[in-house]
Amino acid sequence: MASQDWMTKDFYAVLGVAKDADSATIKKAYRKLARQYHPDRNPDDAAAAEKFKDVGEAYAVLSDESERKQYDAIRSMAGGGARFTSGANGAGGAGFEDILSSMFGGGGNVRFSTNGGAGGTSAADYEDILRMFGGASGGASPFGGGRSRNPFGFGGSAPEPVRGPDVLTNATIDLRDAVAGTTVELTADGRTMKVRIPAGVQNHQKIRLRGKGRPGSNGGESGDMVVTITVAKHPVYSIDGANLRMDLPVSLKEAALGATVEVPLLDGGSTRVKIKAGTQSGTTMRVKGKGVATAKRTGDLLVTVQVAVPRKLSKDARAALEAFDEALGDTDPRASLTEGASQ
């Protein structure tokens, strides 16, 4: 956006913030409005699309400290909305002369004209004056920042490039695809594209696709596309970094006496794990190399033992358990709990 437009556009009003708002307030207002008017939420709505563009332009200027200083200075000089025109004999430039007069002498004591006559200022002189604001010579700007530009958008270097807004979207994949990696087809911001999801992606992880967002202005680079991944819940496995996790139900006998049991793997195979005698419910065992294989490493399968308690017992099973409990004597499974709570 050309900086001469700054004289007529009230970016603070666009974002609905005060002129002395801090950066956090400006960012919060931008995010709220960007979500409200985003094209994904307002398909085929030209008014919302235009509002989304205005909000992005306003934020691009007000979020940059140097840009904001220049914008505030220009709006202040122009009274918040003046524009400069030049008519015959310089008559149309009176507004410009008044501003320069107030800046360099005040009270009408200094006058400028474009006729180059006695006591006047030639076009070349105007160029020298504009250099003070970062004009053609590229000198230092009184509004701060690095290499300056002409804040009025004429007679100097081109406006600074502005990076395009990011495009936010999401994708839901199943756990197998999250482990192995996959390619999904996404439709966002009116475009359909195929996106590669790397192996080992986590639930709620964000993937940033450089340059796939909205185009920039004034030659600025395009924004990014940010894809939030949702990994659908699996009935057996879950992803934990490069590891897979699962619960392994075992019987009371297997936990108490020990056993070797079959464990299914995500790839369709299986492996066998040894349950030691006296294994407690909640104990986790590690099966090496059966987790998520990524470019950096291969994780493990973490198997958590869960002692399965029968919901219903036959008469004989109940009698056997009562006999088993009687055989244990006065053993109290909560003895250590009581002792620890008193410390």
Could you report the per-residue pLDDT of 123-182, keeping only the tens digit for each? 444 445 444 444 444 444 444 444 444 444 444 456 888 999 999 999 999 999 999 999
Better pLDDT: 308 or 150: 308
Asked whether the predicted pLDDT for residue 102 surpasses 70, the reply is no
Positive or negative CA dihedral for 80, 100, 4, 30? negative
Distance CA 115, CA 331 (A): 109
pLDDT value of position 274: 95
Residue 247 and residue 308 in contact, taking contact as beta carbons nearer than 8 Å:
no
pLDDT value of position 153: 46
Distance CA 308, CA 298 (A): 31
pLDDT in tens, 239-288: 998 999 999 999 999 999 999 999 999 988 999 999 999 999 999 999 99
Alpha helices in the chain (DSSP H): 11-15, 23-37, 46-62, 65-77, 94-104, 123-131, 175-180, 252-257, 315-327, 335-341
Token pair 């590690």 is found at: 286
Residue 188: helix, strand or coil by DSSP?
strand
Residue 113 and residue 105 in contact, taking contact as beta carbons nearer than 8 Å:
no
Better pLDDT: 110 or 172: 172
- Bridge pairing between strands 243-250 and 301-307: parallel
- Bridge pairing between strands 206-209 and 225-231: antiparallel
pLDDT band at 49, cuts 50/70/90?
Answer: confident
